[in-house]
Amino acid sequence: MKENTNPEITEEYIRREIAKITKQVEENPLSKEEFALQFVEKSKEFGIKHAFTFDEAWEMGIAIRNKIKFRNHITKLEEDLINHPDSLIGEPLMKVNPLKHSFADGCYIREIFNPAGELIVTKIHKQKHCFFLVKGKMSILTENGIEHIEAPYHGITVPGTKRVIYAHTDCVFITVHATKHTDIDVIEKEIIAEDFNDPIIEKEDIDMLMRITKDKNKQ
């Protein structure tokens, strides 16, 4: 069989590889040694030249596996909390966590109060934006681990982020979003994803994997 030429690392190429790796992770997870053997054998069998090395493919697989694992866990945690008798949703939640909405030119400022002792699972963000903790202390769990922050603090949220937050004290948390709209319902559809299958979230995952391969190639 004639060997393929080295493929260009494009979004579509990464998208296909994500699908392959995700299927492998879900159906038949392999050790690094097993995956290395499969990688070499299949490449020779089909005469394939990859756009990335085995180590890059493994790192991509680990990144995808970690994302899938965390997203499954946090989704299950959110379901368990919603079904807990002490859980608050809807209007009762808004009374405990009042929201303030403000606008500037091209910006929507969203301020929320979180009382001490509250455990929160956030929505899925699908817009890159800045956030500010202007009062209090909290611990935040994301797929990157646990972070303890104290006001004054600011950071950047990337698409696909969903957090578990524990407020150690009364907290005031502010996010700022770029938008042309002033209707809150319209803005929330623009900045919040219903699930992790949102195309914008998928695009961020692809960009992350492309950054991995580019960073590796620079080393």
**For residue 13, what pLDDT is reported?**
66
Confidence category of residue 3, pLDDT binned at 50, 70, 90: very low
Distance (Å, whole) CA 218 – CA 45: 29
Q: Which residue did the predictor score with more confidence, 85 or 112?
A: 112
Rounded-to-integer distance, Cα 152 and Cα 188, Å: 26
Check residues 32 and 166 and name the one with the higher pLDDT: 166
Mean pLDDT computed over 19-27: 65
- Specify the pLDDT at position 215: 58
Instruction: Please tell me the distance from the alpha carbon of residue 146 to that of residue 143, in angstroms, as a whole number.
Output: 8
| Cα→Cα distances 32→29, 117, 196, Å | 10, 41, 27
Task: Inform me whether the pLDDT recorded for 94 exceeds 80.
Answer: yes
Give me the chain's average pLDDT, please: 82
Q: Is the pLDDT of residue 36 over 70?
A: no
Domains, the chain, with CATH or none: 11-82+200-218 (no CATH), 90-195 (2.60.120.10)
Tell me how many degrees the CA angle 87-93-94 measures, rounded to the nearest 5.
Answer: 175
Q: Give the pLDDT score at 4.
A: 41
